[in-house]
Chain A
């Protein structure tokens, strides 16, 4: 390990510190960025190169039970994409859901140094931690699925908001999670208990509770606890024509409190349920432009292979109906559902092109890129390996026009995409891939290069072809460790688990335990996760810790 490093002569893009392509030195010591280092420090010559903080993926699916089921489901996909080991790295399999080692190394190879697994049932949090431990280089955390938790729903129904908040805090601690995740709130009970139906409206009550009540309860609890990242929601009616109204109502439910809408592209559709969708990207982005309390990640669809994996089991079943391909459903008692379906986005298909164009519209129409974060909802909209190509689509108008010409023109005509001339700058790319997600996550030491920041740094050769440029940074440093130098792996690294520990009144356990003993299949005392699963970890502070 190199203890001190000075990077010289590179052009720095650091939006949090308002640095836009200025040539300046970056100094690193003990894994952090510092004001200066001794002359004896290792030097990296970065002339002609672009320096950015390491990428931060705010929403992806990389570890845990559904990811591993998706991995197991796709041997044909791994076979086409082997990933050999090196002197310092483990081997693995690639494809749409790579093995854990390959996931970590490929993120690093792309210049990403932090990633958040976005949907974990609490009962499987231990599994997720074990996989994250085997996901090298990057720092990581996960969002825990709480919106279809029957115990929590009962508290909401009974109007016990204070106890609800205590219980949410207990669950965050018990599972070592980063924030609460809401997926199709209220949709599990119709799926599991009412013969595979779903909830269809944000105000529809199933067994005495509506999605809006659930959303509201989480928004308020997250706000009161001052969580670094607010409730992270996969809205109701995802994927259905006409769902933009649900999305707007979901955002309105938050009022002026913070809320993160996940993969919002999938929730921007006009039209009638069951019929062809239309783009409502403009209506959605208009609301976001006027409401700085909202952040979202786009969930861009990229043409090619994808694997739909979601806690929204009815959605996966609907997708399965399209091609009758192999399908996984996995229920978790009292907590969650899950569905997995292989999927291919094709340029000649109207709906797929429309989805692709809506994602680009969202990026190109936003007035504030800090609110609109780059993601493909990996692997739902396509692999994270598509990020460099997506960056080129945003930065290179000519390339975008070429790609538009190759896809379904009927769909293109229903969107504004052909009229949008905007090109993202490197500064703006640094916002939507680094500074923006770090800020939305409340990670004060990430997404920037000021003193005190984690020394997670990527150094790219500046190239005309932005896809090539972002595909392979020349240097990648993680916590100051020189992971990649001259495009070669030089060191392995475990990475840290990022989690929160909001305070709670221990009396809440007396309320939770009787429910547990009646309806769970594991012992209450064996449910919380002990420290042995934590490896390197960092507690991100909340208002209460």
Chain B
């Protein structure tokens, strides 16, 4: 370690959806790395310490080092020549990069999808169906006297959810922290989060929907047959007790994770949970919050929604955005041999997608943007090495509660940011695709739209 260090206060950890912004980083300016991250959790500490500048070419095509400009040109050509190109990833990139990525998808008339489609996609679909009563994390800290964790394991996935936002932290109306809250964990497994809970309910795996539906009935004062225990493994009395606790708290919150969204039932589970929380607002104030994984997966949802109207799984083939999970989502696009070119941004799908999807990745030209070597970058044809968002670059990340946080970079990287790369590709894709975009598109077509709208 050198003597040449600097300290950055109020820096932001972008590892998980908590996006904690109270980091105090010590940076070794000679070695270009972070040596200490005060206030970081165990996940944050390794996030900061593992980021070192690797010795890689800025760009490579087919394994050979090329200039930035050559790689941009090749990428734009690939995306333009393809009939059904896809962009995927986005959740470990800044909002500024995400905006550029959506523009590329629009200009090239391809598909764009974020990691939402393999984590909280069903949460987004439930939201579209029934809405959601939700909150920012500070209101949980200030008010929540009943905190339920359902199908998630913050002790290992979001450690500071406990300490900074939802359990031990003290708030305006929760002066004694955890002593003023009741904590409930719903999980079949005895996870590392179990010791935090006052009550641990262990249903049989994949019976969440049935349990939530029974709770909805109990909340409304309807009778539930004692055989519910056979279905869910949870005694009726336990469910009755939970229902009463939920109705009688002052401010209740449910955090939930992929135990609900990626288990049997998917958006039925999340839709049922949202409906239950809505029901509870007849009796008291109740909110629900998905515990989002990646640092800016929430931002990807936000950007896609404001630019296209839809949160993930968007396609521009017809010259305007369409949404269809299962059709325009990345796994499905790849697995059915649909995608004929792909650009992966700050993501490593080759390491975790199903086999059929990964096989397709090997058959088509792949463009990869990442800070480090990955399974995906190894099979990619065009590879860009990027600086690390948040550590080397300014930008914005959305916390799991949709609060945007400005990043404070710690040290400089010799590599370009994904914003710079995507912006260059965007400009070239725009030029190459100008013929596809009608020049004579009439502003007057809105007359018909207005009439259509009024008659709807």
Contacts and interface: CB of A to CB of B under 8 A. Distances in A.
B443 A488 contact: yes
A99 B307 contact: yes
A290 interface: no
A520 interface: yes
Interface stretch (A29-37, A51-59, A80-88, A229-237): A80-88
Contacts of A196: 281, 284-285
Interface in A104-159: 105-106, 108-110, 123-124, 126-127, 130-131, 134, 150
A303 B453 CA distance: 11
Contacts of A91: 106, 316, 319-321
Interface stretch (A172-180, A212-220, A327-335, A493-501): A327-335
B154 interface: no
Nearest to B22: A523
B124 A72 contact: yes
B394 A72 contact: no
B320 A520 contact: no
Contact of A489 (B136, B139, B441): B441
A84 B402 contact: no
Contacts of B319: 84-85, 91
A191 B449 contact: no
Contact of B405 (A78, A80, A526): A526
B320 A331 contact: no
Contacts of A532: 394, 406
Interface string B402-444: 1111101000000000000000000000000010011111111
A521 B143 CA distance: 13
A193 B251 contact: yes
B287 interface: yes
B171 interface: yes
Interface residues of A, number: 86
B164 A521 contact: yes
Nearest to A102: B309
A520 B455 CA distance: 46
B132 interface: yes
B136 A472 contact: no
B131 A340 contact: yes
B138 interface: yes
Contact of B449 (A63, A94, A317, A328): A94
A21 interface: no
A521 B9 contact: no
Contacts of B443: 105, 108-109, 472, 476, 484, 487-489
Contacts of B135: 330-333
A383 B452 CA distance: 12
Given A85-B319, A519-B171, A523-B21, A329 B133 contact: yes
Contact of B447 (A75, A95, A471, A525): A471
Contacts of B302: 68, 127
Interface in A60-108: 63, 65, 68, 71-75, 78-87, 89-95, 98-101, 105-106, 108
Interface string B275-304: 000100101110100000000000001100
B402 A127 contact: yes
B437 A81 contact: no
Interface of A, secondary structure class, is mixed
A99 B406 contact: no
A442 interface: no
Given A78-B309, A99-B307, A332-B136, A522 B405 contact: yes
Nearest to A317: B281
A386 interface: yes
Given A304-B454, A523-B10, A331 B440 contact: no
Contacts of B404: 124, 126-127, 130
A382 to B, nearest CB: 9
Contacts of B106: 85, 90-91
Contact of A471 (B127, B309, B310, B450): B450
A508 interface: no
B446 A134 contact: no
Most buried by A among B133, B320, B403: B320
Most buried by B among A65, A75, A388: A75
Contact of A106 (B173, B434, B444, B446): B446
Nearest to A385: B450
A345 to B, nearest CB: 11
A90 B164 CA distance: 41
A150 B172 CA distance: 11
B210 to A, nearest CB: 23
A518 interface: yes
A266 B320 CA distance: 36
18 contacts: A75-B309, A80-B452, A81-B449, A91-B106, A94-B449, A124-B402, A126-B404, A134-B99, A150-B172, A326-B130, A329-B133, A329-B287, A330-B134, A331-B136, A385-B450, A388-B450, A521-B403, A526-B405
Given A71-B305, A86-B441, 6 more contacts: A68-B302, A71-B306, A91-B320, A92-B321, A95-B453, A385-B449
Interface of B: 9-10, 12, 21-22, 95, 99, 103, 106, 124, 127-139, 141-143, 164-165, 171-173, 250-251, 278, 281, 283-285, 287, 301-302, 305-311, 316, 318-323, 394, 396, 398, 402-406, 408, 434, 437-444, 446-447, 449-450, 452-456
In the complex, the 9 A-B pairs of residues with the closest C-beta atoms, listed nearest first: A333-B138, A93-B309, A86-B441, A521-B138, A326-B131, A329-B133, A78-B309, A82-B320, A331-B135
